[in-house]
Structure formats: structure tokens, C-alpha cells
Amino acid sequence: MASAPATGAGLSDADFTRFTEYFYKRTGIHFTPAKRYFVDKRIETCVRESPYDTFTGWFAALRVNENSGMLQDLINQLTVNETYFLREDYQFDAMLSTVLPNVLRDRGGVNRIVGPVKILSLPCSTGEEPYSIALRLLEEWDQIDHVDVEIHGADIDSEVLAKAAHASYGERSVQRVPKAWMNKYFTSVGGGRYQVDEGIRSAVTLHRVNVCDTFSMRAFRDFDVVFCRNVLIYFDELSSRRAAENLYGAMRPGGYLFLGHSESMSRISPIFTPTRLAEGIVYQRPTGAK
Amino acid sequence: MTDTEAPPRVLVVDDAATVRLYHSSLLLEAGFHVDEAANGLEAVEAAMGTAFDLFVVDVNMPKMNGYTCVETLRSETVGTASPVLMISTEDRPGDADRAYAAGANLYLVKPVAGERLIRIATMLTAGRGTPA
Amino acid sequence: MGLVRKKAPEPVEEVAPERPSAEALRAQLDDPDPDCRREAALGLEGDEEAVPALLARVAVETETNVRDAILTTLSAHDTETVAGNLAVHLASDDAALRTAVAEALAAMPRSMPALLPSLLAAPDHDVRVMTAMVLADLNHPDTAAWLVQMISEDPHPNVVTAAIDALLPVAGAEHAAVLEEAVHRFPDDPFLRFTVQAALPRLTGTA
């Protein structure tokens, strides 16, 4: 058994290496030595809150029993989960600068496109993501007045969906929203909270659905752009594969899929084609037969 | 486009951490710059963001095997002309042909001795970058 | 133009798409359109009666996306019938098929153990290498023991090194001896020697 570190604090070098190799293999995420302290502290918390006394016991259980929720707790500890308006908005930049123009071009151009451009935010959680998309389209997409756009938000959790429908948010959630947009699209409802105006709320259709449920996901078809950020990483091997397949089925051929910035399909499924944009990697459902 | 002061950049692609370590250590010691990928899809994504001078690619990998990886590297998805060395445990008849059909430059069967790997890597990257 | 307003007055819609019959989906497994076959394979999730047809398709399906969908559905049937049928493809000349099957088998910890005695004794060393690959990701408490058996007994160095690679993430000081013994059994294998020498300090706590 690898010896405990001299200071008694954090993982031994051997355990840190063992853990980061496992995590890299499982998720594709590298923890560099610079993140050592961060990882040590988070794992300490996981081990302390588990039935196991040592890292070794906890780690062995984690490896054998990924479905138990241990992996979810671990990933929750290691990743930032907060949702807020305009989170990771470099992807919205990519949507405006490259993805939507490509979609329009692929569908015949602004004058000949038939049917709306469809955008899906899943999980939409309490709504910040789909409403952020709506705001950026209205404010920054030069084609918004010429093209129909449907925005859909989907989540498995009915409580967060109710909040998304109500669409009122605290300061922390809206702190990245430009003041001019706050004035234009939000109303102060007291208690430091702001509600998204009815015009925007009615532009986002909310659905309760489980991304791993193939039948339910059949309700979603022909989406041009899908945001599926920071949820696939929580699933075990089989569930994440099925979720990827279900997202594929929800998309138009050539449609675009954004994952969270530290996520990759390389640990999930090869069915999408990666594409490099200036802002990072995006995935596409392939066009045509292979 | 190569910076004449920069060593050649190699991407080592293998699902086995021990194999990545072995090949990377040898190449690093010989002065190459080395990055790693654990399967063919991760390699494709890495190659999209970085111009590699040499790919060292295993065959049996999950998600995307080596042949598909090399085909994708050569396709318009990545479109690299950099040399590809495939190193695999497989030594069935036809495996080497499959590698060349996919676009590999050379196919070797594991284990590859350190000296041999470096000789071959040096030969394949001659004129690309300059080993430190 | 612009953002389309939603149609339903309810704030949240439950989704209730049409559910095709299992018979219809099973028939679709042979459809000439690969997207149709793919959707059928995924739609047959949980349908035990579809298992024989799905297993038959694995052998003949030429579109890798369809095959991935078939294996995704089959992997959830962690039974000896499915595992036994899939394991045959570990010997395939098709690299994409044998690695996809290895991935599927790694997700079947209940039924894999019964296959191991024959897989570990397979005459083709490539099959044994693929078996080590399965064991690398199989969530079963006896995995380390099977890998130790491969490391101590397999006659082919590439099988032994694949087993060592699979074992190291869970190895402890108690495995140092079997690793050292492997180096003695294959003294001319540079990779094996390097790997064991690199791993030992970490295992014995002298890193």
C-alpha cells in the first residue's frame, strides 16, 4: 500500500497519480499538478462523507460501483455547477459567428429556408441557458428579423422547470447581463430579484424529459443547435452512450451540438463528427450516409 | 511553417497508460515534444487544434480504433499529411496492409525497442522541427 | 420572424411521442436505410425478444453508427447469452468490431466472469489481449485476481503486458512480486521491463 504523505494532509503522490489517471481515463479531463491542492481537498471531502475510512477504500469502491452515485458526488465536487446567465458564453459567440450562418446556408439561405431554426437547451435547469440564448439572438443576430427561431428548454427535474417557467432570478444569476439588456428584458420584482419579461418567457418552450429515455427524446426532432452542457459527464458508460444517441436522433443531419467546455465526446461516443471552431470544439451529426 | 528552433511534436495515441508512458518517455528523452491521447477520437480532436509532426497510433482502442483514427486524420475532418506510425499488438496477416490503406506510413508490432522507435521517429520527422 | 412564441398555454410540456410497436421495430432492423435501423436498435431498449435479432445484426451490420446503437441496446442485457454471443467477435479481423464488442463486454460484469475461463485459454493470443482490454474496464471485484492469473500464466508477452496495464490502476504492494516475475519470464521484452520498473516504486511506496 502506498505510504501516507508525511504531512498527513492530502493524497500521497502515488494516490494522486492513481486518481488522476482514473479520472482522465473516465472523463478525458486532465488534472495537472497545479490543481493538486484543489483535487486533494475535494477528494478529502468525498472520502470523509463516505462510509470509507481511507482514500484506498473509497477509491476501490468508486471503481467497482460507478452507478452508486459516488461518481456523481465526486464530479459535483470537482466541477463548478452554478448556473447563471451567459455562462460559458464563448459558445454563444460561436453560435452567432459560425454555427447559425452555417445552418442557414445548409438550409437554403435566409430566403429559402423552410421551417424554423430550432435550438435546444438540455438540461435547461432553471432557465438561464435558454433565456440567455434568446437574449443574444435578439440583441446580436443580424438575421433574427428574417428567420423563425424556436427555443426549447428541457430538463428531468420538474422543480427547476417550474422555476424556469417563473423566470425570476437573483443578482448573482444576472450579474453578467449587460445593464441595457436588464432594462429592456427584465422587471425588478423586489427582494433583489428580476423576472424575465413575458415576451421572452413565451419564446422558450419548456419540456420535462429524461435525456436517457429514447422514446421521450423522440419528441425532439430536427434541431439545428443543441446545448447539452455539463450533464453527460455525470452518467455511467451505458447511460451516456444512450443519451448521446438520443441527442443524435433529436438533431437534423449537419446539426451542431455543444458540450460543456471541459467535456468531450471522446469518452462517450464516436457517432458525432468533431469540428474545430475558433472558440473550441463543437460536434455535428454527420450529413448523408457514411 | 515549422519553427526551426522547436522540436518535432509527436502525438502518442494508445488506450494503455503504460504504453503511452513507454513511448512518451523514449521520445521525450530523444528531444521530441510529446502529447498523448487515450483513443482515436481524442487524437482527432487534439490534431484539430495542434499541428503535429508525427502520430504514433495503436490499433485496439475504444470509441475509435486506430485505423479509423488514421483515416479520419487523413480525411478533410483533419487533413494532416504528417507521418503516421502505427504500433500494435496485432500481427495478423493483412494488418499492415490495412494500416497503409488507412493512410499510415509504417506499421510495427509491439514491443518496439527504444532505439528502433527513436530511429524511425527521427527518420519520419526529418525536416520537421529540430530536436532539442 | 424572430423568436417563435410557444403554442401551448401550459408552462411545461410533458413529452408523449408516438410509441412504435416492438414488432415494427424488430422488422426495421433490416431496413435498407441505416438511420431507420439505428432508430430501431435504440428503440428496442429492454425488449428481450429482440435480443436474437440484435445479436444477428452485430455480425452483419456494415454501418458503424448502427452497430454502436445495437451494442448500446445489447449491453444493457447483462446475460450469458448476450455476452457469449458477443465474445465471439473478440476474434474478429475487423478492428472496429472487436474493440466495440470489448467495450460492450466491459459493461457486463454479471455475465463476463462465466466466459473468462475459455477466453483466458483461447488459442489466439490476440483474443487474450482483447480479454485483458475488457478486464481493464470491467467493474467486478475479482478483476485483479483474473489479471494476476494472466500475468503469471500467459505464455505471450503482449498478453502479459496488456494485463499489467489493466492491473496497475488497482495494483498494490502485494502485486510487486508477480510483476517482477513477469520481467524474469520475458527478459527480452523492453516494454515489459520498462513498465514494471516504472510502476514498482509507486506500488511499494518508495516513490
ipTM at complex level = 0.92
Instruction: Calculate helix-pair angle for C157-167, C190-204, nearest 10 degrees.
Output: 20
> Looking at this protein, which amino acid is placed at residue C155?
P
Distance from CA of B132 to the nearest CA of A (A): 24
Q: Do B77 and A273 touch (CB under 8 A)?
A: yes
With an 8 Å Cβ cutoff, are C39 and A17 in contact?
Answer: no
Residue in C11, C17, C39 closest to A219 by CB: C17
Q: Does pLDDT of C117 surpass 60?
A: yes
Q: Give the whole-angstrom CA distance, residue B66 versus residue B124.
A: 19
pLDDT at A50: 86
Cα Rg for chain B, rounded, in angstroms?
A: 13
In the prediction, which pLDDT does A13 show?
87
Cα A122 to chain centroid distance, Å, stands at: 7
State the pLDDT at residue A5: 42
Q: Which DSSP state fits B118?
A: H
Q: Which residues of chain A have pLDDT under 70?
A: 1-9, 66-68, 288-290
Neighbours of chain C (3+ CB pairs under 8 A): A, B
Using alpha carbons, select from A94, A88, A92, A174 the residue that is nearest to residue A126: A174
What is the structure's pLDDT at B131? 58
Between CA C186 and CA C124 the distance in angstroms is: 19
SS3 A122: coil
Q: Which of A25, A28, A274 sits opposite B44 (nearest CB)?
A: A274
Closest-CA distance, C172 to chain A, in angstroms, reads 5
- The pLDDT of residue A1 is 41
Q: Distance, in angstroms, between C174 CA and closest chain A CA?
A: 8
- Residue A248: strand, helix, or coil: helix
Q: Which residue of B has its CA nearest to A286?
A: B77
- pLDDT for A126 equals 97
Name the residue in chain A with its Cα closest to that of C175.
Answer: A1
Measured in degrees and rounded to the nearest 5, phi and psi for residue A163 equal -65, -40
pLDDT of C207 reads: 52
Task: Give the β-pairing of A193-196 and B84-88.
Answer: unpaired
Q: In the prediction, which pLDDT does A7 show?
A: 39
C195, B18: Cβ pair inside 8 Å?
Answer: yes
CA distance A171 to chain C (A): 24
The one-character DSSP state at B129 is S
Closest partner CB to A270 (pick from B37, B49, B64) = B64
C194 CB near a chain B CB, below 8 Å?
yes
CB contact under 8 A, C4 and A13: no
Distance from CA of A147 to the nearest CA of C (A): 5
Report CA torsion sign: C113, C115, C116, C117: positive
Q: Do C43 and A215 touch (CB under 8 A)?
A: yes
- Distance, CA of A249 to CA of C101 (rounded, Å): 23
The CA-to-CA distance between both ends of chain B, in Å, stands at 18
CA gap C23, C76 in Å, rounded? 20
Look up the pTM and report it.
0.93
Q: Which of residues 30-89 of B touch C (CB under 8 A)?
A: 59-63, 65-68, 89
User: What is the b/e burial string over A182-205, where b = at least 16 CB atoms within 10 angstroms of the residue's CB?
Assistant: eeebbeeeeeeebbbeeebbebbb
pLDDT of residue A86: 96
Which pLDDT score is estimated for C15?
Answer: 74
pLDDT(B63) > 90: yes
Residues near B32 by Cβ (< 8 Å), separated by ≥ 6? B7, B8, B9, B10, B54, B121, B125, B131
| Number of helices (H), then strands (E), in chain A | 13, 10
Q: Do the Cβ atoms of A221 and A248 come closer than 8 Å?
A: no
Query: Which own/partner contact pairs does A62-67 have at CB distance under 8 Å and 24+ positions apart?
Result: A63/A22, A63/C139, A63/C169, A63/C170, A64/C139, A64/C140, A64/C141, A65/C139, A66/A236, A66/A237, A66/C139, A67/A236
The residue of chain A nearest to residue C62, with distances taken between CA atoms, is A290
